[in-house]
Structure 1
């Protein structure tokens, strides 16, 4: 998968299919809220599997039942690439 940074327009187009995700400071981010802590931990574990499958790892911050996901591609100078969009789609599909 390409590590070429996406343009602002490409990111905005991709975000039109990713409800709840935001683009700021060359990063994609989303916040999710779950019924309880154990549910949130299970989601974090699933995201870990997606990250290993894609060999692309986001920053995950868990506080009780709230999860914040921030992703950017280090190999692209910490810019958003198709890898970030793919990971965001996998996460969104899983939590919906």
Structure 2
């Protein structure tokens, strides 16, 4: 798979305004109207993660979802992370 360079990551993040390159991960925070909507999005994201065989580090407090994506086998950001970020964006857009 191979790690992406910092330059490549920053260039690709232009298409992902909710995400940033932080601590060798792709990182985003999403705020929902309430816990139910947040948990619903998390459930949909979980099914996508299973389908892709790629799982985020994430936390949820009430209506806030914080997600960090990195490819643990590569110790950084790879194409897999951008593919999952794209799917997460589509899920979160539907929830809004």
Q: Same fold (TM over 0.5)?
A: yes
- Give CA-to-partner distance per residue, 1:62-94, whole Å, 9 cap, x none: 000000000110110x20000000111110111
TM-score by length of 1: 0.93
Residue 39 of structure 1 and its aligned partner are, at CA, apart by 0.5
Q: CA RMSD in A?
A: 0.8
Unpaired segments of 5 or more residues in structure 1? none
Runs of 4+ in 1 over 3 A off after TM superposition: none
Q: 1:63 aligns with which of 61, 64, 83?
A: 61
CA distance in 2, matches of 1:81, 1:54: 14
Unpaired segments of 5 or more residues in structure 2? none
Q: Tell me the matched-pair count.
A: 93
Alignment of 1:4-83 (within 5 A): 4-76=2-74, 78-83=75-80
CA distance in 2, matches of 1:60, 1:47: 11
